[in-house]
A = this chain, B = another copy of it.
């Protein structure tokens, strides 16, 4: 994120002053009343005037870090306007990811209109100056067409829209995807059915590198189509992480290759599963939109559904000296548990290409462990006394070591940090508890760990009216800590837990409410004007629909 910002600012310096027509200059920081904190841009923008009246940024979401726009409009001819690879780009027609994105964005911009026969008309058919094409130039030696997005990927881009061609420059394809989304948001249809774009220049990059949506496919199964639709909506809002909370107590829809019984017995039905093909479809659909897929296989709690297909995995609960027949968290005292987990996470490490796996570790209920005489005996042997958090950490530590051995990083819920497990330096700790999340962010980053914030963004909690404002007003960096600590907060996630969510209500419940989180995580810290956000969000919602 920091790297991307530095680079984008450099580009801005190079490209200022390109406009030949009188330009309306809009700085997103001035417009919102607070100067940018980055010294490079503050100097440049200080002399410009804020603009009133309608400029096309009125529908941009999330708002770019820096933009200027001119009242001069260019016309686009559907069917003739093209998205093309620009001269000097390291990506070309063999870049499937960009080819796919070109097709997608032409469709978003023109829809049915692109099937008109514009191509056969002479250019004189248009009344104003025309924009012929958008040239996409990828500058890195490896454009990334066949790779997966990562935490360190650059999403910065620079876009200039001037007659007769627009140019979109990005280091990697991930920035080009973000720039294509922004360009498509600039294009609008007027009352006469003409497609127009204002001459503009945009310099943009994300404020935070990790901008996630958590979907829960255990409480209710979500059909593949719902997940894919959600990935589209994420791309419209420049989210870049799908946190796939794929299994939980209620059901185990992940069809494991090594342990097919887990879903055979733990899924809601034979049909309510994600096959290996389904999983690949999700991962590829996400990749094509610059979205990472981080699966969560939460243990040792939240695992009731695992027990149905894997004998002896869960702890038998006791009442006095007798097993009750019910089970608690994963049984941490058996070697077979770790044999299973070792094999299971090996599969997960192979199936999911992302460098991170989310290992959960939240809300472990100790009562079953406490009831079990063998667990108590084990506690004694290990010298844990009656501190079951130590047993939890003992278990988690082994899982962390297993996953590390497959060269994967891990994300965990905050309890794992709170219970003082030994974490690798690149661990991402997800802060979710609503009370005093700022203090928790201080602690986590103070201990030198990377954090993401979810606590204020549990979007499954609904209430009457415009609660998006509440999500929008959150300032993630408002916690005590040094500059170094602040840099360790790498982003956040909007979480849509599935207790009351399924395919029937997922989209209208999550969007555009999650868009508020999207802008908070992408745009500049000082983009906080609620009325301005309301107007842009209204337009953005309409475009998404």
Interface, chain A (partner B; CB < 8 A):
460-465, 500, 504-505, 507-509, 545
Contact = CB atoms under 8 A, between A and B. Distances in A.
A539 to B, nearest CB: 15
A463 to B, nearest CB: 6
Given A504-B507, A507-B504, A508-B504, A463 B462 contact: yes
Q: Which 4 A-B pairs have the closest CB atoms?
A: A505-B508, A504-B508, A461-B464, A462-B462
A454 B460 CA distance: 27
Contacts of A507: 504
Contacts of A461: 464
B504 A465 contact: no
A464 B465 contact: no
Given A505-B505, A508-B508, A500 B465 contact: yes
A464 B504 CA distance: 16
Contacts of A545: 504
- Copies of this protein in the assembly total 2
17 contacts: A460-B464, A461-B464, A462-B462, A462-B463, A462-B464, A463-B463, A463-B464, A464-B500, A465-B500, A504-B507, A504-B508, A504-B545, A505-B505, A505-B508, A505-B509, A508-B508, A508-B509
Given A463-B464, A508-B508, A508-B509, 14 more contacts: A460-B464, A461-B464, A462-B462, A462-B463, A462-B464, A463-B463, A464-B500, A465-B500, A504-B507, A504-B508, A504-B545, A505-B505, A505-B508, A505-B509
Contacts of A462: 462-464
A120 B460 CA distance: 51
Nearest to A464: B461
Q: Most B CB atoms within 10 A — which of A460, A462, A507? A: A462
A461 B460 CA distance: 16
A225 to B, nearest CB: 15
Nearest to A500: B465
A141 to B, nearest CB: 44
A455 to B, nearest CB: 16
A349 B504 CA distance: 38
A502 B505 CA distance: 13
A219 to B, nearest CB: 13
A321 to B, nearest CB: 32
A504 B506 CA distance: 11
A511 to B, nearest CB: 9
A87 to B, nearest CB: 43
A500 to B, nearest CB: 7
A500 B464 CA distance: 9
Nearest to A507: B504
